[in-house]
Amino acid sequence: MVDNNSERLDAVFSALADPTRRAMLRSLAQQQRSVGELAAPFEMSLAAASKHIKVLERAGLVQRSVQGRTHVCRLDAHPLHGGMEWMRYYEQFWNQRLDALDALLQAEDRAAGTSTSKPRKTKTPGKPR
C-alpha cells in the first residue's frame, strides 16, 4: 500500500536537502517573489531556477502563479508541519537518551564522591533546559 503522506514527506525532505532551495524558501518567507528574483542571488539562469522551483512545488512548499509574463512564487509552509512532527518524535527519543546518560553520569559522580560540584547539565540543541 502506498502511503501518500510518506511520499509527501519524502518530497519535502528531498526539497530541503538542497541549500539553494532552502535559501529560496527563506526568501519567500519574507514575501512572494518572481522566478527572476529567486534566481538573482545565485547568478543562475531562469531555467535553472525554475527546476529548483518545480522541486519545491512538487513538495507543496511553493505555489506559482502567472501574472502576465511573470511567474510569481509564494511560500506554502503547511507541508513543513509533517516534517516537524517527524523530527519531534526523534527529539523525544534523544531527550530520553540524554536524560538517561545524565542520570548515569550523576550516579557515577556520587559513587566516586565527586558530587561536591554542580550536577552536570545536558542541553538539547535548540531547546533550553
Residue with the bigger pLDDT between 99 and 48: it is: 48
**Cell triple for 106:** 550523576
**Helix or strand or coil: residue 76?**
coil
Residue 81, C-beta contacts closer than 8 angstroms, at least 6 positions apart: none
Provide the pLDDT confidence category of residue 3 given band limits of 50, 70 and 90.
very low
Which residues pair with residue 127 across a beta bridge?
A: 124
Q: What is the pTM of this model?
A: 0.69
Residue 116 has pLDDT above 70, yes or no: no
Q: pLDDT (tens digit, 9 = 90+) per residue, 31-89?
A: 999 999 999 999 899 999 999 999 999 999 999 999 999 999 999 999 999 888 888 88
What region does 8 belong to: left with phi over 0, alpha with psi -120 to 50, or beta? alpha
- Angle subtended by helix axes 46-58 and 4-16, to nearest 10: 150
Q: pLDDT (tens digit, 9 = 90+) per residue, 22-42?
A: 999 999 999 999 999 999 999
